[in-house]
Structure formats: C-alpha cells, structure tokens
Structure 1
C-alpha cells in the first residue's frame, strides 16, 4: 500500500510539473508575441493602425502596439483602444517640455459657487479647498488632457471634437488626443471618443505618451 501511495505521489508530481511547464510555455509565447508586436515596424500602406492598450480588467495592457512605427510623409496613423473594459488612454505629443499637462488641475472659483452631482443623488462630490479673498479652489480634470487639443507655435489653444483627425507639422508645442475608450464605453466618461488620427507631413521622429499611463510610450519616425 505504501509503495502504491508513493508511486501515485510521483505520478501526481510529474503531472503537475508537466502542467506547469505547459503554462509557462504558453505564457512565454504570449509575452514574446506582445513584445515582438511592440518593436519597430515600417508601414507602407496609406493608413496605419496602432492599438493603445488592450487586454481586460484582469490583465490590462498598458503599451502601444506597435510601439515604434516608421511611415512616410503624408501617411496617417489611427490609434484605437481594443481593451475589453472601460480603460481610457491618450496619445499625447509634448513637443515643448513647458507644455506638460497634468491629469487634474486646481482652479479658483467663487466661494458662493455650488456644485450639483450628476446624476443627482449619485455618489459624486468635487474636491473643494476653502480659500481667502472670496475664492475657493476646486480640483478638476484638466480639459487639456481630457479633450482633444492643440497648442500651436504661437501659443494658440485649439480644442477639437472627439475622434479628431489632425495634420501634424512638427511646429506645434502640444498635441493631445483626449481620452479615448473602446467602442461602447463612451458613456463612462461623457465627451470621450474611440480613436485619434494624425497625418504626418514632415520628416522626423515624434515621441508620444499616454498621459494617464506615463510609462506607456511610443514613437513615429517619418521619412
């Protein structure tokens, strides 16, 4: 009986080891596949698609795929969000370091200003910091990260509609897609879109980030 029990233990240990190796092998293949997809890719078609994020609520991806793209002047890149949950991303070109924008922003308001939660009765309340001189400070989402916007070389600020299509020259100081989500999740953040498209007109390398996930970076090299 003891010999039989020992044999069964050995067989179970062997099966566990085989199963573990199989899982590790599958995970390795998946990881290598994702990493391979994020390397430099030269795109010859007129329109190029780049995924911003991916995965699901259990294992979300915070990476652009492909991460580095090479295109020719005149080509357009469209970023989309394939995540299966409402995880927003941005595509943000900060061409002037002085134009770095935060996700939230402190703003002064009259201390007589009142705010009502939407929808009424929901568990929402703004951050209000009492101040002096009849002013309070409210902490709000920064419109220059939430909305599609361009700051040009003359410091002019131009907001665009969600799902914007923009032609980038490289003279801009700041170009932002606004928050965009997978199709069907816009209601979670009213005013957001699903895509962002940029046509590149001049050669050079343009680096960008997701403001919501600053480690999520990408580049476009235009020849």
Structure 2
C-alpha cells in the first residue's frame, strides 16, 4: 500500500530519507502486504484520482482470500494535481482520505484520517516538500504530523536531503521534533552510499530520554 498511497518524489527508503516521518506518512494506518485492489483515473490534463481497498489485517505469510466478504478493510481515496502525467511522481499536490475498519478480534479500533502532500521539482534540481496528516484511532504511529524539507539533485544521481518533522502521538504527552540530513553519493553506476544523521527531540515512544541522535551509512548495489 505504501507504494501508491500518499507518495511523493522523496519517498523511497532505498535512495531518499530513512525516517518514517519522511518516507511515509505515519498518521496513515496502511496495512501490510496482502490482498487488495487499486485504480487511478485521469480527470483532465492535470487532475487525477486514485482509490484503493485492501485487507486491513493483511499478513504476507497467510493470505486471506475471504477478506472482501469478511470485512476488516482499509480504504483510501486520493485527489491530486500534477503539471503533467509524465511528471506525476515529481510535480504533485494531493489530498488523501482513508479509513480502516475495526478488527473483529478487538485488537484494533476503527481508524480514519486525512493527509496532504505538496512537492514540486523546481528546475529538475530542487524538490521542496510540505506534508501533513491527522488521524483518529489507535493504530497509526502518530495522531498528527507535519513534515517539511527539501531535496537537491546534484551531479549524476547524487541527492542531498534535509527534513524537519513535528508530531504528536495518542496518549503521549509532548511534541516530538525530528531532523534528518543525508547525502546520497554515486560512486559508480549501480553503486551508491548514503551517510545520514537524525536527531529526535523529545522522542514520544522513549520518554526516558530527552533526545536521540542516529548516524547511519546505507549502501545500495544495483546489478
């Protein structure tokens, strides 16, 4: 579901940001891989709509082919604008509405929410973005989230990114601030390394710490 629900040009965890605040929208309770269906429609030269319905309790190791008769569904509807459909991944502004049924076993309450995303590839070099979401329920990681930042495409396929996120979580006091910076360096065709740094102030799910710093080095080999 995260391959087509509320995506934008810097969404890939293989080549972009690593924190969920920037490569997903953590206010959307998207299910795991499972049975579902989705479709898109061009409304005119710039407007589009995408809808989906899927198993809200999906388990990749145990496919449930009775999902559409049993209920427990995840549904989404996205309405968006793009400069042209060959640039829909790069120049994109959209609103996503979603709903997930409550689990029959009581493990998850009904969830629903809305998300907004705006990203634009300026001069095929800069990609500023603004993303926000709000949800009601118990399963989404955050109740409210606002992310902003920018990506810069340099020589070859180099990419630098800087992102800032504010978030609130259900039942947890305080606000969390997340900052991530990375640089994806193309060493050779098919080989990239990405050093990155993250700083999280007032981590909502780790109240014993005032802040957390994370440093990583990602290597990607394509052959």
Q: TM-score range by the shorter chain?
A: under 0.3
| Bigger proportion of residues as helix | 1
Instruction: Give the TM-score taking structure 2 as reference length.
Output: 0.23
**Largest Rg, 1 or 2:** 1
